[in-house]
Each structure stands twice: as structure tokens, then as C-alpha cells.
Amino acid sequence: ATAIQRLDYRAPTYWIATVDLTFDLDPAKTLITSKMAVKRNSAQAHGPLVLVGEELTLLRCLIDGEPVSFRQEGNDLVIDAPDRDFELTLRNTCAPEKNTALSGLYTSGGSFFTQCEAEGFRRITYFLDRPDVMAVYTVTLRADAAKYPVLLSNGNLLEQGTLDGGKHFAKWHDPFPKPSYLFAVVAGDLVAREQRITTRSGKDHLLQVYVRRGDLDKTEHAMNSLIASIVWDEKRFNLPLDLERFMVVGVSDFNMGAMENKGLNIFNTSALLCSPATATDADFQRVEAIVAHEYFHNWTGNRVTCRDWFQLSLKEGLTVFRDREFSMDMAGSASARAVQRIQQVRNLRAIQFPEDAGTMAHPVRPDSYVEINNFYTATVYEKGAEVVGLYQTLLGRDGFAKGMALYFERHDGQAVTCDDFAQAMADANPGSPLSSRLDAFKRWYSQPGTPHVAAQGEYDAEGHTYTLRLSQRNAKGPLPQVIPVRMGLVGPEGQALPLQLQGEIAARGTDTVLILEEAAQAFTFVNVMVPPVPSLLRGFSAPVLLEDGLSDPQLLTLLRFDADAFNRWEAGQRLSLKRLLRAARSGQPLQLDNAYVEAMRAVLRHADLDPAFKAEALKLPDAAYIAEQLEVVDPQAIHAAVEAAWDQLAAALRDDWAWAFDAHQVTGGYSPNAVDAGKRALANLALAMLVRGAVAQGDPVWPGRAYQRVKTASNMTERFGALAALVNAHAELAEPALVHFHALFADDALVIDKWFMLQARTPERGGAVFERAKKLLQHPDFTLKNPNRARSLLVQLCNMNPGAFHRSDAAGYVLWAEQVAAIDAINPQLAGRLARAMDRWSTLAEPYRTAAQEALKRLAERSTLSNDVREIVTKALG
Ligand code: DPP
Ligand code: ZN
């Protein structure tokens, strides 16, 4: 397969104005009739009409009711078209129950579902399957009434009724023109939670959450999240719900988290269902965020969509930014917002930074791709959201809102580009720091790589000035980028110092944004009466790697005093990172020093810090982020350093952990609110430390308490926390606890996923974790066919557990290659995800490097690989 280039974009030669689809649903062979109003694009010369279809059987092709000559070339259907607008009628079949790729129309648990983004519609019928072709859809579904009592498609229900032979039908019409990737059908034996609401404008709407019978009691949180999202988007961005009916459907076989089909969102059950007994606080938060994300797409994605797939971040970066803003508003307090920011950055550093440095690195707006499914990445989503955040940092909240308003005023109903978004933001804010440097700003879309920002400060005690020199470099992009550096200066006693730049007549307060846009710049502050500690990149104001060379005493000052909670956390992370890197580089055993341990104790015992913040501040940096700081990566050296650090923190703070555990028990009924969740997070961390310390000492008390909690906890957060404490510490009671837990939840697939996930992600000790994971491949509950299950074991092991995966005997790589190939035969998109485990192979130390390369080569030699996996292994081998 050849790469598709962004600059090759051409408008289509034909448009499809309306499409009338009829489905005769049958799992083995579904019949689809499609009637399309085809219009010539007057701006283009047109030859034949070329539609695309995959794994379809074509039965009929008529133009204005008459047979017409056509030919099939690969996946292309080439039709001799007359020189006028016409009606095209096609009839074809597809085989939903054989569709294990879960793209197009497929069956899951006896019901029908679709997934059309990015290119699934072509697996349903022949079409101009590209996002700039927007049509008005009318859809008739016909199916067995007993097996498929619920028949859903986008938009409004026009008509329904019974048919002969035990069948029934439903006819849907979506008044909004949409690209084919937003088309959806659901048919099955489902039940719905319903809620009627009246929005601010006085319009009534029906909200429905459809799930399998038996799951209805797990939909309340999703419904509440949906209502909150609707209210929030109206209030914050003036964007109302535009449909009479908004439907959400859960399905347990699904490649993504969820899908924003117009009026008919389809969700992976893992992103929809939760109850206190089966879902953790993190699950509740994730469901809220994804429900919001898909709902927000209704404007950012559906009303204004992407011209082509290179613009994916136009909708995804923006919609992630929006769901983050929503989640922060829902979390409430400043501290809870900071905790969310910390979690976002932790995730960015663990996943997006390695991606941006690795063999799959690409700009937020890629320039080419072989398989678009491979570009639903952390770069397009999370870095894309960071870039949207940069607009808000440069323009302020009101300026950003003005830009959004202009974007919709200009582009509602259109398929547009990232340039159009940037232009609307700039034009709505003339004279702003964005409009004067828009071209340079847009390098965030065109250059891959994480910029490194170096900072160096110089205090002049006599002149009372402080000069901050900032410079930037990006190994993957030659041009300087526009980097807003939010900052402050902290005095030795923790005072927030006034910030007056040389040449300015007054101080800017104690927190400001500097714009770094040249390769190197200096900023001089005047009237600085004491030697300051610079607090840079507050709130993580840009997605860069900062090297400020701060000493331990300076970091300890920030950890104690910084007014910015994010940078307080960051100072602690930096203290940890320094120590972990020193050990990983030298190969010497890690020995934590007293100053560090006391600083951590002070955080844990702090009178004012919130428990949720403490839990984040006491967690060590992720192995993947540590690896990114090293030129040559020995995963086992990193693993050993991290484990030693945990062991020492467990031992040195034992009494403090015991206090923290007891002091943060939540009484009363379960609620996933941020305050209670924060207490549970800290108690769970404390319990993990206590069990770890006890196992090292041979002390049975805390493992016993944890085991008891696995048996008696009244919510999943506490139960799973206790189970994880035992498993991660390799306690003897881990085994019976796992057995007990499995028996309790044997019928709940989402909980069993957690059970697999925990075992696949346990910190390795002597190879036992890898051996266990390998054995779990044979477990009767394991299957490669369900993406959640496959991910919970294999992606967790290969992509998320470096200590277990990277082995000197190469067994991890051998298993990886086998499993990628096995999954590829079933579901290429999922296989592509697992294939990414080798992105950073070339930085590995020996013997890992050579062994990883060999595994990649062996996989690349297979003749049957999908485009998805082929693209990834080819790029990996470079
Ligand atoms: N369903 C995916 C998402 O919402 C792709 N659009 O991000
Ligand atoms: Zn999305």
C-alpha cells in the first residue's frame, strides 16, 4: 500500500446530496440498497464516478433506473456517469457476523452495530467515503422483530411498523448533512434508560442510553454525565443540543472508547457502564469524560467536520480540550483542577512524548499516512489538545470563546482544516499575541517532536535584577515554536515576588506568561530584592521538556511554597526523577537520601494539601517518562531503580503510611466526587506501601488487612486497591485474593478485564509476572476477539509493563510478534495498537536492542500483514 499525502488533497469530482439506505438485516448476509442523488462538482472536470467498497458483493448498479456499465478495480467501483446530475441505485451484501475487524457493520452479542470512522462505511456499501462529502441520510431498517426489537439510526424516527414473516421496520431521517463516518445503525435486544430535558432555549429533548438487559443499573452515571455535558456546553460555549433525540448505545466489542455518530453515539461498554460495586473512581471519571467528549463532538466534529483525515486533530484535539475543561469544571476546587492537570501531563509524558521521539513520530496534523487508523494517536489527541490550550493561554478565556464563536459562524455545516480554525482564532482577536505571530504559531501543527526548553537564571544582587535566559531546540523540527511560558519567581522564604520586566512601568503581578518564540531569548526582571527560584512552565503551559537545572534546595523550595500547585507537584517529580536517573545511568543500587525522604514525609503529613494532590505528589514518575530522559535505555535498570525507591519509601515512611491509611477512610455511601475519590486514592496508595513494606519484613498484618478488604469492601475502588496492593507486592495472599475476586465477578466482563489488567501490569519480580501473563493467554476467559480483553492482557504487558516485557532472553518480543500476527488476522486496528510496543526499540541497550530488531524483522517478513501493522513495523525498522 502506498502512502497518502496531505498535499495531494483534491476536492471530489462528484457530491452526494442525499442517500436513501435500506437494510435487510441478517447476520450472515445483510442486503443493502442505496439510492443516491449524485451531483457533479462544477469546479472539477469529471470522468467516471469512482466509489469505494470493501468486502462487499455488488448485485445491482442503476443510473436513473437503468442498468449502466461499470467495472470493479480492486476496491474501486468505476461507473460510467452521464454528463448531468443523476440518481444512482446500488444493491450489495455484506457479512456482519464474519466481520471480526469491528469496522463497518458487525454483530456483537447477537445485536448489530456499526463503526464507520474512519473508513468503515465502505464496508457497508459503495460510496464516496471521505469526510468532505456530506449527505442527508434516510435509513430504513428491516429485521426479525423478536431478535431485534430495537432498530436505531441517526436523527429522527419517521415511521415504524410490522412486516410479514415476523419482521418489523423503522425509518429514520437525519436532517443534518454529514460525512459517512458519522453514519450509524444499531439493531438488537436492548433496553434504555430515558430522560426528558428542557434546555435553556426552551426546547424539549429525549435522552436515551441503550444497553443490554441487565446493565440498566449501570447507566445512571452516564446519563448524569450527558445532562451535565449538555448544560455545560450551552453555558460555556453557547452551543445547544440541536437534536430532538440524543441516543447513546453500549457495545462490548468495540475498537475505540466511543464514537460520536450524529445523534447516535456508540460506546464501548468500558466507557459507559459503571456502578460503585464494579467501577473505580477512575472509571467514573473516565465515563464522565468520554460521554462529554462524544457529546461535544456534536459541534466540534459533526456540525463542523474535517475536510480530510490529515485534519483529524481539528476535531479531536479541540474536543479533548473541551472535555478536559468540562472535567475540570466538574471537579470543582482549584486543587482538584490541578490534580486533573497533573494526570493529563503524566499521561502525555508517558505516552505522547515517547511517540513524538519514536519511529511513529508525526505532527499534530500529519503529512502522510498509509493507514489512517494508525493516526488516532496521543499526538493527534493529547498533544492536539495541548495546542488548543495554547490558544486559550495566549488569548485568555474570553478571547478563546470569541474565536470559537467566529469558527462556528464561518464554518457551520462545512468540512474544514486546522488552518481554518487557527485563522478564526486569530481573526476574532485582532491585536492579540496570536494574530501577530500566527504563521510561527502554526508550526505546532507542522513540526513533530517535543521541543526542549533550556532555562538559565542569573541574579544581580547589586542591581536587583534577575535575567532569565530561555532557549529552545527540537530534534525533529528546525524552526522555533511559539511557547507560552507561564511563570513566577519564588523568594527563599516562599514569597511570590512581583514580576516587573525591564522596560515595563509596573509589575505584572506575581504570575505571568512569557512568550518564547526565538531560538534564544532573555527576559530581565527588575526590582528583584532577593535571589529568586524561577517557577517555570506553570500549569504545564506548553507541551515541552524543560531543563532548568534547578538544584535540590531550589526544588525543595518550590515543593514547599510554589503558589502553582502543578509546579509544586512537578518539583517533587523532579526530585524523584533526578535520583532515579542517577541510579538508572550508573547501574548502582538506588539509595534515597534523607532530605528527599523528609520532603516526601512533609508532603504526606502536610496539614493543608488535599489528599488527591498528595497521592499524585507521592507517586514516582512513570518508567516510560524516565526512559525518555536517557540516551540509552536499560529497562531493567529503570525498573530496579523504581522498585528500590518504592521499597525505601515504604520502609522509611511506614508510620506515616499507617496514619494516612487510617486518616483517609471514607464513611457513608459511595460517591465518586473528587473529595471522596481523593481520600480513597491516598488510602489506596498508603495500603499499597504498607503491604509492600510488610511483605519485605515478613509481617502478616497488613497483607491480612488487605485480603480482608478484598473480601468485604463495599465499592470497587477500595476492593481493587486492596487486590492491587497484594498483587503488586507479590504477597502470598495475592493468589487467594485473585481467586476470590474472579469468583465474585465471573459474570462481569469489565471487571474481569481489570483482573487480567492487574496481573499483566504487576511490577516484575524474577520473571514471574511474564510467566503468569503468558499462562493467562490460555485462560478460558481470554480471547483475542474482544478488544477490551486482548488489550487488558497484551497491551498492558507489552506496551505498559517494560520491566516484564524487556527480557534478556527475548521471550517478551517473541510473544509480542506471535500475538501481533494472531490479532492481525482478526482485527488489524487492534493489532496496530499492540505493534506500537516496539516504537522505541532503537534506544534500547543491548541485548534488548538487537533482540527487538530481530523480532520486528521476523514480523515484517510475514506476507500477510495488514496495512495497519505493515506501516508500523516498516516505520519502526526505518
Ligand atoms: N470515536 C473517537 C473519538 O471520539 C474517534 N472520533 O475520539
Ligand atoms: Zn473524539
pLDDT digits (tens, 9 = 90+) for 812-830: 999 999 999 999 999 999 9
User: Range of 351's domain?
Assistant: 306-446
Task: Give dist(CA 200, CA 238) in Å, integer.
Answer: 10
Residues with beta carbon inside 6 Å of ligand 1? Answer: 117, 256, 258-260, 293-294, 297, 316
- Please, are residues 300 and 408 in contact by the beta-carbon 8 Å criterion? no
Residue partners of 673: CB distance under 8 A and separation at least 6: none
Q: Residue 93: is its pLDDT beyond 80?
A: yes
Q: Does any domain span residue 666?
A: no
**pLDDT for the residue 484:** 98
C-alpha cell at 545: 521538556
Beta bridge pairs of residue 268: 251
Ligand that comes closest to the CA of residue 182: 1
Give the ligand 1 atom nearest the CA of 259.
1
DSSP β-ladder status, 533-536 and 70-73:
unpaired
| 206 residue type, one letter | L
- Give pLDDT tens digits for 97-120: 999 999 999 999 999 999 999 999
Contact between 853 and 843 (Cβ < 8 Å): no
Q: φ, ψ for residue 457 (rounded to 5)?
A: -115, 150
Counting ligands in written order, the one closest to the CA of 377 is 1
- Using the mean position of ligand 2's atoms as its centre, give its distance from the Cα of residue 215 in Å: 25
For residue 297, the ligand 1 atom closest to its alpha carbon is: 4
Distance 548 CA to ligand 2 centre (A): 35
Query: What does the pLDDT average to over 633-659?
Result: 98
Decide if pLDDT at 567 tops 90.
yes
Amino acid at 155: G
Q: Per-residue confidence at 48, pLDDT binned at 50, 70, 90?
A: very high
**80 band by pLDDT with thresholds 50, 70 and 90:** very high
Cα gap 204→209, rounded to integer Å: 17
Query: How far is 302 from 300, CA to CA, in rounded Å?
Result: 6
| Closest CA relative to residue 515, chosen from 433, 438, 629 | 433
Residue 334 has a pLDDT of 95
**Grid coordinates representing 37?**
442523488
Same domain, 170 and 205: no
For ligand 1, atom 6: residue with the closest CA: 259
Average pLDDT, the chain: 98
Q: What is the CATH number of the domain that holds 248?
A: 3.30.2010.30
Best CA proximity match to 728, nearest among 767, 680, 760: 760
Cβ–Cβ < 8 Å for 717, 280? yes
Which grid cell sits at 359?
A: 519511529
Mean pLDDT of 619-648: 98
Report residue 830 as a C-alpha cell.
487492534
Ligand 1 atom closest to residue 258's alpha carbon, by position in its atom list: 1
**Ligand 1 closest atom vs CA 294:** 4
Answer yes or no: is 730 within a domain. no
CA of 657 from ligand 1 middle (Å) equals 40
pLDDT tens digits for range 211-222: 999 999 999 999
Q: State how beta strands 465-473 and 452-460 pair.
A: antiparallel
Q: Are 78 and 70 in contact (CB under 8 A)?
A: yes
Structural contact between residues 60 and 54, judged by C-beta atoms closer than 8 angstroms:
no
The DSSP secondary structure of 326-379, one letter per residue, reads HHHHHH-SHHHHHHHHHHHHHHIIIIIHHHHHSTT---SS-SEES-GGGG--HI
| Rounded distance from Cα 317 to ligand 1 centre (Å) | 11
d(CA 222, CA 266): 13
Residues 183 and 70 in one domain: yes
Amino acid 864: pLDDT: 96
Q: To the nearest 5 percent, what fractions of the chain are helix, strand and coil?
A: 45, 20, 30
Packing angle of the helix pair 552-561, 565-586 (nearest 10 deg): 150
| 769 CB-near residues (< 8 Å, 6+ apart) | 759, 760, 762, 763, 801, 803, 804
Q: What is the pLDDT of residue 395?
A: 98
Which residues are CB-contacts of 425 (< 8 A; sequence separation ≥ 6)?
Answer: 391, 395, 400, 403, 406, 407, 434
Q: Are residues 333 and 433 in the same domain?
A: yes
Dump pLDDT digits (tens) for 713-741.
999 999 999 999 999 999 999 999 999 99
Residues 279 and 160 in one domain: no
Residues 20 and 37: their CA atoms lie apart, in Å, by: 9
Residues 6+ apart with CB under 8 A from 859: 817, 820, 821, 835, 865, 869, 873
Phi, psi dihedral angles at 64 (to 5 degrees)? 50, 40
Query: Is 594 part of any domain?
Result: no
Whether 20 and 127 map to the same domain: the answer is: yes
Give the distance (Å) from ligand 2 centre to CA of residue 263.
15
Residue 670 lies in a domain: no
Pocket perturbation via mutation, ligand 1, pick of 259, 268, 304 by most ligand atoms within 8 A of CB: 259
**Res 552: pLDDT:** 98
Q: pLDDT at position 44, please?
A: 80
Closest residue by Cα to atom 1, ligand 1, is 259
DSSP tally for the chain: helices H, then strands E: 30, 33
Predicted confidence band of residue 314 (pLDDT cuts 50, 70, 90): very high
- Does residue 124 contact residue 58 with C-beta atoms inside 8 Å? no
Please compute the mean of the pLDDT values over residues 361-371 and round it to a whole number.
Answer: 98
822's grid cell:
494472531
Q: Which of 119, 294, 316, 570 is catalytic?
A: 294
> Which of 405, 429, 446 is a domain's end point?
446
Compute the distance between CA of residue 19 and CA of residue 30 in angstroms, rounded to an integer.
18
353 and 430 belong to one structural domain: yes
Question: Residue 809's CB: how many other CB atoms inside 10 A?
Answer: 11
- How many CB atoms lie under 10 A from the CB of residue 853? 17
183, 275: one domain: no
Residues 539 and 563: their CA atoms lie apart, in Å, by: 11
Q: Which grid cell sits at 403?
A: 474565536
Domain annotation covers residue 474: yes
Which listed ligand is nearest to 319 at the C-alpha? Answer: 2
Q: Is residue 78 part of a domain?
A: yes
Question: In this structure, are 197 and 83 located in the same domain?
Answer: no
Q: Tell me, what's the pLDDT at 43?
A: 82
What secondary structure, in 3-state letters, does 454-500 show?
Answer: EEEEEEECCCCEEEEEEEEECCCCCCCCCEEEEEEEECCCCCEECCE
Answer yes or no: do 314 and 326 share one domain: yes
Cβ burial of 330 (10 Å; 0-12, 13-18, 19+) is buried
Task: Answer yes or no: do 146 and 214 share one domain.
Answer: no
Whether omega before 118 lies within 30 degrees of 0, making that bond cis, reads: yes
List, for residues 772-795, the tens digit of each pLDDT value.
999 999 999 999 999 999 999 999
Percent of the chain surpassing pLDDT 90: 99
Cis peptide, bond prior to residue 621, ω within 30 of zero: no
Quick: pLDDT tens for 467-506.
999 999 999 999 999 999 999 999 999 999 999 999 999 9
User: To test ligand 1's pocket by mutation, which of 180, 256, 300 has the most ligand atoms within 8 angstroms of CB?
Assistant: 256
The pick from 114, 117, 261 for probing ligand 1's pocket by mutation, whose C-beta has the most ligand atoms within 8 angstroms, reads 117
Question: Is position 703 within any domain?
Answer: no
CA distance 147 to 323: 37
Pocket test for ligand 1, best of 376, 380, 829 (most atoms within 8 A of CB): 376
Ligand 1 binding pocket mutation candidate from 113, 116, 260, 270 (most atoms within 8 A of CB) = 260
Flag whether 234 is in a domain. Answer: yes
Query: Ligand 1 centroid to 101 CA: how many Å?
Result: 17
Residue 413 grid cell: 455545516
pLDDT of 46 above 80: no
Ligand of minimum distance to the alpha carbon of 267: 1
Distance from C-alpha of 861 to C-alpha of 730, rounded to nearest angstrom: 39
Ligand 1 centroid to Cα of residue 259, in Å, is 5
Give the mean model confidence (pLDDT) for residues 578-591: 96
Nearest ligand to the CA atom of 117? 1
CB 488 within 8 A of CB 476: no
Q: Span 698-703, mean pLDDT?
A: 98
Nearest CA owner, ligand 1 atom 3: 259
- Has 371 been annotated as catalytic? no
pLDDT in tens, 506-530: 999 999 999 999 999 999 999 999 9
pLDDT class for 1, splitting at 50, 70, 90? Answer: confident
CB hemisphere CA count around 41 (13 angstroms): 18
Name the band, by pLDDT with cuts 50, 70 and 90, for residue 763. very high
User: Taking Cα atoms as reference points, which of 692, 694, 676, 710 lies closest to residue 642?
Assistant: 692
* Domain final residue pick, 265, 294, 323: 294
The whole-angstrom separation of Cα 647 and Cα 650 is 5
Q: Is 415 helix (H, G, I), strand (E, B) or coil?
A: strand
Q: Kindly give the number of the ligand 1 atom that is closest to the alpha carbon of 376.
A: 5
- Which residue's alpha carbon is at the smallest distance from atom 7 of ligand 1? 316
Contact 702, 691 (CB under 8 A): yes
Q: The domain that contains 832 carries what CATH number?
A: 1.25.50.10
pLDDT of 593 over the 80 cut? yes
Rounded to the nearest angstrom, the distance between the alpha carbon of 700 and the centre of ligand 2 is 47
> By three-state DSSP, how is residue 292 classified?
helix
> Which atom of ligand 1 is least distant from the CA of 381?
7
Task: Judge if 130 and 270 occupy the same domain.
Answer: no
* Helices (H), ranges, 489-607: 552-561, 565-586, 594-605
Closest ligand 1 atom to residue 293 Cα is: 4
CA dihedral 677→678→684→690, nearest 10 degrees, is: -160
What does DSSP assign to residue 177?
E
Q: Are strands 533-536 and 415-416 parallel, antiparallel or unpaired?
A: unpaired
pLDDT category of residue 45 using cuts at 50, 70 and 90: confident
- The residue to which cell 442503476 is assigned: 62
The rounded distance, in Å, linking the Cα atoms of 780 and 379 is: 36
How many CB atoms are closer than 10 A to CB 253?
A: 20
Centre of ligand 2 from the C-alpha of residue 257, in Å: 9
Residue 572 has which C-alpha cell?
517533587
Nearest to 365 by CA among 303, 443, 293: 443
Distance CA 563, CA 615 (A): 19
Amino acid found at 11: A
- Enter the DSSP assignment of 382: I
Query: What's the CATH code of the domain at 360?
Result: 1.10.390.10
Do 183 and 197 sit in the same domain of this protein?
no
Q: How many domains, the chain? A: 5
pLDDT confidence of 201, banded at 50, 70, 90?
confident
Domain end residue (candidates: 244, 262, 294): 294
User: Could you report how far apart the first and last alpha carbons of the chain are, in Å?
Assistant: 16
The per-residue pLDDT for range 126-139, each reduced to its tens digit, is 999 999 999 999 99
Angle at 269 between CA 741 and CA 149, to 5 degrees: 120
How far apart, in whole angstroms, are the C-alpha atoms of residue 734 and residue 745?
16
Going by alpha carbons, the residue nearest to atom 4 of ligand 1 is 259
Q: Which residues pair with 36 in a beta bridge?
A: 19, 88
Reported pTM: 0.99
User: Whose CA is closest to atom 5 on ligand 1?
Assistant: 259
| Pair type for strands 452-460 and 545-547 | parallel
Closest CA to 89 of 155, 22, 152: 22
